[in-house]
Structure 1
């Protein structure tokens, strides 16, 4: 059994240590871990949609081992624990233990022992005393048994096969039987408890094997998941960040970030110019059309006036002829001199300056200018892309330096991926398999035979009581007792003999188990469970000249990594990075300090120069011509003068009135018919040509007023165009470069923001989520549970159960020997008074005299 326990405890300790030290994987939270599955289920979770989802270890294989408190043995095991805690309240002599560890040579060890052996003896004194009492009791039983057998062989100690029946004979027999039943039942209970405890002890091998295998699976899965988490963070997510960064300096990125915003900024200034150019073109076209109408109407008016003059002159000539031919009285007056044309179209002011303005505007081709402005503005994004290509290529090359972060980080955590835990645990599992085969023999030959023999003692007593009670007759003489009664007595004596024979063995084993179980509880499990062994010894840097766990895991024993910290942090399900103080080996803040790499990128960004776009709003000639047109007061139309001219009557007199009067005056003359014909011509002239001329004058007056409004609008358009063109030109020449530089700087800002976001994300994940180590605490707790609950309670149960049986040995031997004579058939009767004895049986105990011995 010693080789098995040596390998089992060594292996469990190794697994617990390795479980504390593995740097791998996500974990099951303390509040909701599922521990029933036999496979590791990988799920994903992420705090940011920008990056890859991290795998998590949602289920763990290791089940919490069934503790004795869950097997119905809680009360019994608590008694055993309570007894040990009551008799032994001392803590381990940690000072001595620290000195022994610090000793490096045999002489140093001897010196420490010479100085402190009394403390060690004092610590073990209680167990030594009680163990010694057990061993003394074992030898005492041997001596008493030998003495008893010797005396019996010499005819002493009740060896005579005859029995004297006194006054309380029957009462004593009943009392002996009751006491024997009580102590036998206690012994049976102890034997059953010993059987259960031994069975639990036999299961320990299987528990250790399952614990090792499940723990190895969990820790390996933890190692795999955590390694994958680091790979995703430092490889996949890094590549995602780099692709996003490179997108900012790509053609599409620079076009979106710089080109299009610059185009928008210029358009904010050029669009008003384009708008007013369009308006100017429209207003100019309208004014030109109105001017053409006016010119056409003036030409028509001049033609009509010419025709009117010719007609009027012809009529006047005809009237002169008629007046000469008429022999009219002096009262008849033709008044030909009053008939003439008053309106003179030639006196109309010239509209040539207005026409010049309209022509100048038309010659400038405002729509063509606006189209050119739009075309050049639309080309700005592509121009930015082409002008920055060389500088962006240098920035892209510079960004590759960021890859050093990933390589550096991966090199620091490579020990997680490369650590081969199976090389540590598999030899222990293989050794355990060999021990398990040998231990199976112990299962059959050990606890079953061991517990079976212990059950045999009270079993024989109960069997003896059963046969003795069934076969005994109260009125039968001792020499006349039946076969069953005699067999009952023999069974009782057989149990007594077996107890004497096996007492030494059981008491010696019991003392050994007590000392093993007591020391395991007080010297091992109690310090482990309350953590004092870690605080006082394992975590004490003065003992080891540093921190041993940090030296083993981080290859640096100056890092204050302690078992206590690991256990506490893993109980809280904290991350691998914070739990194992990996900041001492891989400082996230330092390694992911993107700012130290950004200055080079910023310097390259500062070298990007975007030239001023070749956008000409108004050429100098156009600007000068429009400015002159605007400053020329001749372009203003004098509508007052034109209205005054156009308001003059066409003829000096009303032709109709003149015709009527002339016709009336000459009605009785010889030329009346001819005059009547001339009068009719005047009426026709008035309703025709004169009316047409008057209509033209009215329309012309309307169009002149319209032209004045349009020319005013045109002048306003020119003024606004000149102002807006000036603003746009000033922006392009003075402010465009600054805005372009600011937009270029946003590239560095965006790259910096992406890098910072990635760095912060990785810091947060590594510090809080990667490698949550509750699974390691679960493996550790399970290993401790197997040793310090399952195994320890089984050992304590064995010695406690055997102790109960051993305590029952003494009363069972005493009452078994005494009660055996009440059941066994005596060889001869004891000398007594026949008549007195008969009276004794006839009248009863209370009224009969005890038979007198002869």
Structure 2
């Protein structure tokens, strides 16, 4: 039995079931609406990318209320509200809208006149002004030409004449200042009209472009959400293609916690076994080398010993028999052995037969094949799931057809055409505006001319006046001042009635425009009025969209004012049950069924067979029985050999010899013994020490291997128990985790899509902004400026009346009289004209 004997085990309901369940969920979710974001439920699913919020388009800044444009708005509004205090005439407008011709009867006309009574009264006053002012001017001119109405060039001097003059002067001055103020307002309001009209095209284009940006963005945002669902399907498809590496890796990682320590300990045992084998080989080689050296020295020593014995047998050798006992001690006959190594070598050889390295590789190959096993076992379900996903992609493309996105395109095309029309009419409109501006400037200048004449009279008159001078001898300067006053009065009579016609017409148009359009538009009554059923045929937005409830224009405006999305603005939740479409839990039972019906086959593993376990235990027991004491005795025995002592004795014996041949032979034999002793010390002893060190190292390694074997048996046993107990559960758990990961993509995507559709798609703030921008352009700019102009002009026309009176009366105090009337303190000297004389 090997280390990694594979045994076919039970099949576990796992990863392919996860795929099938994920695929089923994809089908159902995409079939619902195709809206989702991924939030992985566990770390294994951390690759799911979070979807970003929708990017709202950038809109151009449109017109805002300018305080300088409506500088007279409070005063004009106060006047118009006094003239027209009645509320917005809903009923009258509805009657006109229903049937114009049928409403043109006396009763209806009476209702209209009653409603417009304030404007009618002002119109009557204006008409009286228009009629009476030229008549009064005509009769005054005729009367003065006849010498009446101040036409006589004679001024009676009285004590109160200076008081009257001063009073008339300041009255004329104040009146002229008031007219000048109105004239300044005319100039300013006329310029404001021009600026408003000039900016209206640009502001209108900005408003239309903002609406177009909004109309373009809504389909893009819807397609973005749908495309993100395609991305989610694509992401899951990639995961299905990589189910082997993904799910297989997770299964492998769950096994590593127990398998890695077991494999590491086996690798360590294998390495120690290799080291022991190397040390044994080295030890055996050292033994062979040592034994060879010992045998060689033994042969040399035997030869020397034989030579010495021959020398001693020579009769010429004096007293040689005395060393014969020492000759018997010369021996090196020993065999170097370590008896306990034989059993240890046999155990190592037996362990090497198990081939731990190949068994380790078998385990690694088995676990490396897990991803391929997962891929093979889930091949069919992945294929069918991809087909389902392909059907999902096709079905999702039909989703946008349920939303009337074409309406946005139609409105956008209409706006494009409107911009073209505005561009074509703009030059003609600018030309008309130039004419209007020029006419208004002329009117302002005429009024200014009256003011200038009055001020010249008020300045020159007092400058040239001498208080006690004779009225007939007044200076030219004073006379010019009085003449300018008369000229101002003449211009007033000449143009005031014409200007009052303009005031009347602009008042009726601008005033009613404000009361009937701008005021109800500003306080949102106009939008509520438009919501009146039947006022605009076909404006039932709710039934048109297929809603149960009706949607009003004012309600849409209020929602857009808060920049709410189209989901709540148009009550789309009545058409689409988004929560039901994105509900994941209702598919759980079907998903579970697919999950349970698919298995991934994963064989169980027998890490150590009983035979291998017994071999390891036997090896552990033998590894602790290495006995080096016999070798130590042999080493000590060799270390005690000392041939130098015998050599010294031979040298001493040689000293007593008279025979030269015997002496030389003994000395040579002594040198040979010393050489052998040197060889023992330089060759044999180092080899013995090296061999002793090897034996000790082997003993130390053999001592450690016992602990290694125990660690191997413990770790492998724990790993085997873990595999036998948890393999099926691990496969099932990791498969379910993979399934939860795929479900997490859609579940989180569903949450994102729900929030995006209900809170971000089609935020209609630009629509409300466009309505307010148009209101500002029409009412706050053009109408306000127009009303300010006619109000200022009417203001001047009203004060023309006291200006005429004060100017005519004051002019006589400065003009040069034809006849004098002297006044000196208490006596007034006057020349009484003859009866027949007539002054002109």
TM over 0.5: yes
Note if 1:524 corresponds to 2:517: yes
Secondary structure of residue in 1 paired with 2:743:
helix
| Partner residue, 1:270 | 263
How many equivalent residue pairs?
761
| Partner residue, 2:350 | 360
- By how many angstroms is 1:785 displaced? 0.8
Residues 824, 141 of structure 1: CA spacing in aligned structure 2 closer, same or farther, 3 A cutoff? farther
| Partner residue, 1:228 | 220
- By how many angstroms is 1:229 displaced? 4.0
What are the residue-to-residue correspondences of 1:553-632 with 2, within 5 Å? 556=547, 558=549, 563=554, 566-567=557-558, 570=561, 582-584=572-574, 591-593=581-583, 609-612=599-602, 617-618=607-608, 622-623=612-613, 625-627=615-617, 629=619
- By how many angstroms is 1:279 displaced? 2.1
| Partner residue, 2:245 | 255
- By how many angstroms is 1:360 displaced? 0.7
Note if 1:129 corresponds to 2:118: yes
Residues 275, 465 of structure 1: CA spacing in aligned structure 2 closer, same or farther, 3 A cutoff? closer
| Partner residue, 1:64 | 63
Secondary structure of residue in 2 paired with 1:70:
coil
Contact residue 277 and residue 721 of structure 1 kept, 8 A = no
Contact residue 135 and residue 507 of structure 1 kept, 8 A = no
What are the residue-to-residue correspondences of 1:370-519 with 2, within 5 Å? 370-400=360-390, 403=393, 408=399, 411-412=402-403, 414-415=405-406, 417-423=408-414, 426=417, 430=421, 437=428, 440=431, 444=435, 448-449=438-439, 452=442, 456=446, 459=449, 475-476=471-472, 491=487, 494-495=490-491, 497-498=493-494, 503=497, 507=500, 510-511=503-504, 513-519=506-512
The worse-fitting range, judged by mean Cα deviation, of 401-410 and 418-427 is 401-410
Note if 1:792 corresponds to 2:783: yes
Note if 1:847 corresponds to 2:827: yes
**For the residues of structure 2 that align with 1:310 and 1:442, how far apart are their CA atoms?**
145
**Structure 2 residue runs without a partner (length 5+):** 1-47, 315-321, 657-661, 836-840
Residues 845, 301 of structure 1: CA spacing in aligned structure 2 closer, same or farther, 3 A cutoff? same
**For the residues of structure 2 that align with 1:438 and 1:285, how far apart are their CA atoms?**
108
What are the residue-to-residue correspondences of 1:37-116 with 2, within 5 Å? 57-58=57-58, 60=60, 63-64=62-63, 67=66, 69-71=67-69, 74=71, 76-85=72-81, 92=88
| Partner residue, 1:216 | 208
**For the residues of structure 1 that align with 2:404 and 2:288, how far apart are their CA atoms?**
93
Secondary structure of residue in 2 paired with 1:780:
helix
Residues 588, 415 of structure 1: CA spacing in aligned structure 2 closer, same or farther, 3 A cutoff? farther
Contact residue 354 and residue 612 of structure 2 kept, 8 A = yes
- TM-score, structure 1 length as denominator? 0.66
| Partner residue, 1:5 | none
- By how many angstroms is 1:646 displaced? 8.9
Residues 546-591 of structure 1 show CA distances to partners (whole Å, capped at 9, x for unaligned) of 9968539956372667636645654x65655566655555666555
Secondary structure of residue in 2 paired with 1:249:
helix
Residues 637-688 of structure 1 show CA distances to partners (whole Å, capped at 9, x for unaligned) of 566688789989999xx9989x999x99xx9xxxxx9xx99xx99x979988
| Partner residue, 2:736 | 745
Out of 269, 275, 279, the residue aligned to residue 282 of structure 1 is: 275
What are the residue-to-residue correspondences of 1:676-715 with 2, within 5 Å? 708-714=699-705
- By how many angstroms is 1:277 displaced? 1.8
Secondary structure of residue in 1 paired with 2:828:
coil
**For the residues of structure 1 that align with 2:348 and 2:759, how far apart are their CA atoms?**
77
Secondary structure of residue in 1 paired with 2:156:
coil
Residues 382, 593 of structure 1: CA spacing in aligned structure 2 closer, same or farther, 3 A cutoff? same
Note if 1:244 corresponds to 2:235: yes
Secondary structure of residue in 2 paired with 1:848:
strand
Note if 1:803 corresponds to 2:788: no
Higher relative contact order structure (alpha carbons within 8 Å, sequence separation ≥ 6): 2
Contact residue 77 and residue 797 of structure 1 kept, 8 A = yes
**For the residues of structure 2 that align with 1:642 and 1:462, how far apart are their CA atoms?**
143
What are the residue-to-residue correspondences of 1:300-315 with 2, within 5 Å? none
Residues 603, 548 of structure 1: CA spacing in aligned structure 2 closer, same or farther, 3 A cutoff? farther
Contact residue 650 and residue 690 of structure 1 kept, 8 A = no
**For the residues of structure 1 that align with 2:444 and 2:811, how far apart are their CA atoms?**
20
**For the residues of structure 2 that align with 1:63 and 1:649, how far apart are their CA atoms?**
114
- By how many angstroms is 1:793 displaced? 1.4
| Partner residue, 1:35 | none
- By how many angstroms is 1:103 displaced? 12
**For the residues of structure 1 that align with 2:267 and 2:149, how far apart are their CA atoms?**
139
Contact residue 207 and residue 770 of structure 2 kept, 8 A = yes
Contact residue 623 and residue 702 of structure 2 kept, 8 A = no
Residues 537, 268 of structure 1: CA spacing in aligned structure 2 closer, same or farther, 3 A cutoff? farther
**For the residues of structure 1 that align with 2:338 and 2:261, how far apart are their CA atoms?**
46
Contact residue 338 and residue 631 of structure 2 kept, 8 A = yes
Residues 539, 453 of structure 1: CA spacing in aligned structure 2 closer, same or farther, 3 A cutoff? closer
Residues 205, 379 of structure 1: CA spacing in aligned structure 2 closer, same or farther, 3 A cutoff? same
Residues 701, 275 of structure 1: CA spacing in aligned structure 2 closer, same or farther, 3 A cutoff? closer
What are the residue-to-residue correspondences of 1:796-835 with 2, within 5 Å? 796-815=787-806
- By how many angstroms is 1:775 displaced? 3.7
Contact residue 620 and residue 705 of structure 2 kept, 8 A = no
Residues 602, 687 of structure 1: CA spacing in aligned structure 2 closer, same or farther, 3 A cutoff? same
**For the residues of structure 2 that align with 1:138 and 1:353, how far apart are their CA atoms?**
142
Contact residue 155 and residue 471 of structure 2 kept, 8 A = no
**For the residues of structure 2 that align with 1:80 and 1:380, how far apart are their CA atoms?**
88
**For the residues of structure 2 that align with 1:702 and 1:181, how far apart are their CA atoms?**
134
- By how many angstroms is 1:522 displaced? 4.4
**Structure 1 residue runs without a partner (length 5+):** 1-47, 323-331, 668-672, 830-836
- By how many angstroms is 1:784 displaced? 0.9
Secondary structure of residue in 1 paired with 2:730:
helix
- By how many angstroms is 1:783 displaced? 0.7
- By how many angstroms is 1:747 displaced? 2.8
Residues 598, 551 of structure 1: CA spacing in aligned structure 2 closer, same or farther, 3 A cutoff? same
Secondary structure of residue in 2 paired with 1:558:
coil
- By how many angstroms is 1:410 displaced? 7.3
**For the residues of structure 1 that align with 2:417 and 2:446, how far apart are their CA atoms?**
42
- By how many angstroms is 1:132 displaced? 0.8
- By how many angstroms is 1:64 displaced? 1.2
